[in-house]
Amino acid sequence: MLPIVLLSVFGIVLLFLGFLKSKAILLPATLLFLLVAGAANFLDWNKTYLYFGDMLRTDNLTMVFTAIILGSAFLVVALSGSFIEDEEAQPAEYYGLIMFALVGAVMMVGFQNLIMLFVGVEILSVAMYVLTGSDKRNLRSNEAALKYFLMGAFTTGIMLFGMALLYGATGSFTLAGIAAYAVNPQTGLSLLLYVGLLMLLIGLLFKVSAAPFHFWTPDVYDGAPTVFTAFMSTVVKTAGFAALFRLLSISFVGVYEFWWVIMAVITAITLVIGNVTAVYQNSFKRMMAYSSISHAGYLLIGLASLGAQTKQAIVFYSLAYSVATISAFGVLLLVAQQRGTQTISREGATGESFDSFNGLARQNPLLGFAMAVSMLSLAGIPLTAGFWGKFYMFSTAVERGQIWLLVVAVLMSAIGIYYYFRVIIAMYFRDGVIEPIRVAPFYQYVLLAATILTIGLGIAPGLLQGLF
């Protein structure tokens, strides 16, 4: 509750700060605001409250997800310094919109009522449409924004339709009300419930870019400015999965028999499409787009085999994934800025291909190390957080006895190693430009912190346990 209020106020304050002549204050101010919101988030620790006529719930799970979202946002904003140096940039508006997007994300995490879910999704999405198109002079950015908006608006419609059908079937918008209706599938439930659930799922799966609703992802991730790609692939995904988990685990446990097959098939398709297509990319940024699809697949395993471990698995996985993704994008941001030219070829911007990472580890050991650790984590190699993320996900599948899903996931992880290691090979084993990349000290600390977090969680994954 407090984070929502604070973030809304801070967003407006940031817009007004934009009137100041100096833009220098905006970045530290945003970071400070995020810290304050993050701290306020934990004030209600170990207590459970309902707000807004029981439409929003704060409990430990909400707070943990909110913390992951705010932490990811903090890292993204901290790495955005070079992006806003541009003359044409409008940092006040960007940061303001980020604040509003976070309000939406926090609502999606804590909703108790479908209306609240819808409002949260919309607040988040509208802000993201604008941010995607924020690089006004870049044609691809504009294209991405338009695509994202058109397809996003369309699926929002489907989602809303689904909610209406659910209301028709159950007479209630609240999670508890739907759960009370769906608890006894033997008595014959209304067909509207099933159709409504499917439509609602389509809307949310679109947001987390699960196949076959993923077609917007590569173009939008590729076209959007890298900072906002990082934001999109972490905050939006975490919020989306938090919402899916809350929805399925509270309201639709009763009809698990109905939806688990659908979810399992979607999981398998997502894993295969994400991983196999990523192999063929020449642009690192596009590869990361497909990688984000594949990670949606791993996260979906937890939902398709919903059980006692799922909560743990999704929290851990989203954290591991977010940290690794952000530091990868953080390195990309520097590389693309200093090694690339602004010309854009069919393969994407020149600084974003795998080749532009050649020899990076020799000139910039720290950047190389940060990137290597995040690639290892995304590939799920032990001693990184990503390994335990996969481990928890695989455990949920074993617990439910879904061995075939597990086999698909294992094969796809092996494929994943191929494309993640292309970056490591380029950085460590190939020779490239001699000139080192200049990195601001603050930027280094942020990358280092993210790297340490990834390794720390890889060595002691138990740290997160018992928190929620």
Partner 1 sequence: MLTLGLILFPAIAATLILLIKGERAKQVALAAALVELALALSAFVQFKPDATSQFGFDYAWIGALGIRFSAGIDGISVLLVLLTGLLVPLIVLSTFNRQYERPSTFYALMLFMQAALIGVFTARDGFLFYLFFEAALIPIYFLAAMWGGANRIPVTFKFFVYTIFGSLFMLVALVYLYYQTPPVAGIAHSSAIVDFYKLKLTPNAQNWVFWAFFIAFAIKMPVFPFHTWQPDTYVESPTPATMLLAGIMLKMGVYGLIRFILPIVPLGVEAWGQTVIILSVIGIVYGSIIAIRQRDMKRLIAYSSFSHVGLMAAGVFSQTETGMQGALIQMLAHGINVVGMFFVADIIFSRTNTNQLDQLGGITRATPKLTVYFMIMLLGSVALPLTNGFIGEFLLLHGVFTYNHYLGLAAGFTIIFGAVYMLRMFQKSMFGPTSSRTATFADLTMSESLVFVPLVIMVFWMGIYPKTFMDITEPAVVNLMKYIGTTAVSMK
Contact residues toward partner 1 (CB under 8 A) are: 308, 376, 381-383, 387, 391, 394-395, 398-399, 406-407, 410, 413-414, 417-418, 421, 425, 428-430, 460-462, 465-466
Backbone φ and ψ of 344, nearest 5°: -120, 120
Which is closer to partner 1, CB of 174 or CB of 396? 396
* Cβ at position 387, least distance to partner 1 in Å: 8
Cα–Cα distance between 454 and 218 in angstroms, integer? Answer: 26
Residue type, 76: V
Which is closer to partner 1, CB of 121 or CB of 424? 424
Nearest Cα neighbor of 201 from 129, 314, 117 is: 117
Asked if residue 6 lies in contact with residue 94, where contact means CB atoms within 8 angstroms, the answer is no
Question: Hey, which residues does 344 pair with through a beta bridge?
Answer: 349
* Cβ at position 377, least distance to partner 1 in Å: 12
* Cβ at position 304, least distance to partner 1 in Å: 16
Cα–Cα distance between 156 and 169 in angstroms, integer? Answer: 20
* Cβ at position 168, least distance to partner 1 in Å: 39
Cβ-based neighbour number of residue 359 at 10 Å: 18
Which is closer to partner 1, CB of 375 or CB of 447? 375
* Cβ at position 66, least distance to partner 1 in Å: 22
Which is closer to partner 1, CB of 162 or CB of 458? 458
* Cβ at position 376, least distance to partner 1 in Å: 8
Cα–Cα distance between 262 and 295 in angstroms, integer? Answer: 18
Which is closer to partner 1, CB of 195 or CB of 398? 398
* Cβ at position 309, least distance to partner 1 in Å: 9
What is residue 56's three-state secondary structure?
A: strand
Question: Hey, which residues does 386 pair with through a beta bridge?
Answer: none
Which is closer to partner 1, CB of 37 or CB of 408? 408
DSSP string of 421-463, one letter each residue: HHHHHHHHHS---SSPPP--HHHHHHHHHHHHHHHHHHH-GGG
Which is closer to partner 1, CB of 82 or CB of 395? 395
DSSP state of 353: B
Which is closer to partner 1, CB of 155 or CB of 395? 395
Which is closer to partner 1, CB of 165 or CB of 406? 406
Q: What contacts 93, CB < 8 A, 6 or more positions away?
A: 15, 18, 134
Which is closer to partner 1, CB of 28 or CB of 382? 382
Backbone φ and ψ of 197, nearest 5°: -60, -45
Asked if residue 335 lies in contact with residue 439, where contact means CB atoms within 8 angstroms, the answer is no
* Cβ at position 461, least distance to partner 1 in Å: 6
* Cβ at position 371, least distance to partner 1 in Å: 14
Backbone φ and ψ of 322, nearest 5°: -65, -50
Contacts 24+ apart (CB under 8 A), 394-402: 394/301, 395/309, 395/313, 396/301, 396/302, 396/305, 396/306, 396/307, 396/309, 396/310, 396/313, 397/301, 397/304, 397/305, 399/305, 399/307, 399/308, 399/309, 400/305, 400/306, 400/307, 402/264, 402/304, 402/305
* Cβ at position 259, least distance to partner 1 in Å: 23
Which is closer to partner 1, CB of 143 or CB of 399? 399
* Cβ at position 416, least distance to partner 1 in Å: 10
Q: How far is CA 115 from CA 118, 248, 371, in A?
A: 5, 16, 40
Dihedral angle computed from the Cα positions of residues 199, 203, 204 and 207, in that order, rounded to the nearest 10 degrees: 160
CA diameter of the chain? 71
